[in-house]
Amino acid sequence: MLNLLKRKKQVIDEPDNSTTSEKPEKAGFFSRLKAGLTKTRASFTAGIATLLLGKKALDQDLIETIETQLLSADVGVEATQQLIKTLTQKLARKELTDEAAILQALQNEMKAILQPCQVPLTIPSSQAPFVILVVGINGSGKTTTIGKIAHYFKELDKKVLLAAGDTFRAAAIEQLQIWGERNDVPVVAQQPGADTAAVIYDALESSKAQKIDVLLADTAGRLHTQSHLMDELKKVRRVVAKLDPTAPHEVLLILDASIGQNALNQALEFHNSIGVSGIAITKLDGTAKGGIIFAIAKQLKLPIRFIGVGEKIDDLRPFVADEFVAALFEGEAGTPQ
């Protein structure tokens, strides 16, 4: 088992030659983003493009069909209404003369929905350690995402420490320790079953002593409907605040894109219960439900800090609205090839 873990570590830690300069790295991630959105594009934008094929202009019947397509792609009622309203207005002004104009109008309005949520997670030099409390349900990719975020901040020359606050699962503690080894960052952990708040408190004390820039604290996965477990997160916040009244500085919710509208329901419940300040959307690759990002952006209006489009250590990147929409439409009529 240990040899297997070492082999995995070697694969993940392999340097990516595309990161030697800014432009190749950006181009490389855009290619991965485009590939990761293949299923969403096939069910969403490609479906709309097929509807528009051969159409010289938009009519009301076609708008209604597009509306159905948007809803079936998990774009959500509110975001769909905004998109359809824009198309209807442009139709009335006779601005939608061909397929390319329709697709361009959709792209522009989709960017308008997402752009307010494009708020990168920045670490102020005046705040050290910057405490990020990571929450989400089991299976959302929480612990893996923490490892990838640790890698991201390490690349920015930040000193990072991990807190293994998911004490309910021994495997979660081990997994976080493996990520610590991969990223060469320390991990504060206790035995399975230990008090989560105590683990994170110890990690914060250690972070202060070691002059750590970023403390990433894992927590046990919980359903948004489990009020007693949500209360535990509130306890964590209270305990951490005893050491630093301003902490945690970020409550980052990890959402699994592949569950579609359920991700939006989770986000609403977590936000209402503990106050979420940022979102990371994982597993956009391999799902046809990537349209959920529009529903989340429109309804919650919370910063989308990161998106994940693959299993590699650098497949998690800060969210850029224009790049996301471009990747979603690339290859369709009127879009870049």
pLDDT value at residue 127: 87
Which CATH number covers residue 95? 1.20.120.140
Any domain includes 334 = no
Same domain, 161 and 306: yes
Which CATH number covers residue 172? 3.40.50.300
Same domain, 110 and 134: no
- Parent domain of 82: 38-117
Same domain, 108 and 161: no
Contact assessment for residue 11 and residue 311, using Cβ atoms and an 8 Å cutoff: no
Q: 132 is written with which tokens? A: 């990020």
How far is the CA of 204 from the CAs of 57, 183, 236, 282, in angstroms? 60, 19, 12, 27
Any domain includes 123 = no
Same domain, 51 and 81: yes
Question: Coil, strand or helix: which one is 155?
Answer: helix
Same domain, 163 and 299: yes
Same domain, 164 and 235: yes
Same domain, 45 and 136: no
d(CA 90, CA 62): 14
pLDDT value at residue 5: 42
pLDDT value at residue 50: 82
Residue 189 Rama label (left phi>0; alpha psi -120 to 50; beta): beta
Domain closes at, from 117, 141, 157: 117
Any domain includes 122 = no
Question: Coil, strand or helix: which one is 287?
Answer: coil
Same domain, 312 and 167: yes
Any domain includes 152 = yes
d(CA 33, CA 259): 19
Any domain includes 13 = no
pLDDT value at residue 155: 94
pLDDT value at residue 18: 35
pLDDT value at residue 10: 40
Specify which residues 135 forms β-bridges with. 253
- Determine how many CB atoms are found less than 10 A away from the CB of residue 271: 17
Any domain includes 256 = yes
Same domain, 227 and 292: yes
Same domain, 113 and 134: no
d(CA 106, CA 219): 39
Contact assessment for residue 187 and residue 175, using Cβ atoms and an 8 Å cutoff: no
Contact assessment for residue 282 and residue 319, using Cβ atoms and an 8 Å cutoff: no
Domain closes at, from 77, 96, 117: 117
Query: pLDDT tens track of the chain, all 337 residues?
Result: 334 344 444 433 333 333 333 444 555 778 888 888 888 888 787 788 888 876 666 788 888 888 988 998 889 999 999 999 999 999 889 888 888 888 899 999 999 999 999 999 999 988 889 999 999 988 888 999 999 999 999 999 999 999 999 998 889 999 999 999 999 999 999 999 999 999 999 999 999 999 999 999 999 887 656 677 788 888 999 999 999 999 999 999 999 999 988 999 999 989 988 899 999 999 998 788 889 999 999 999 999 999 998 888 888 999 999 999 999 988 654 454 4
Contact assessment for residue 87 and residue 58, using Cβ atoms and an 8 Å cutoff: yes
Domain closes at, from 65, 91, 117: 117
What pTM was computed for the model?
A: 0.87
pLDDT value at residue 4: 38
Same domain, 238 and 308: yes
pLDDT value at residue 120: 94
Same domain, 104 and 167: no
Q: Give how many domains the chain has, as a whole number.
A: 2
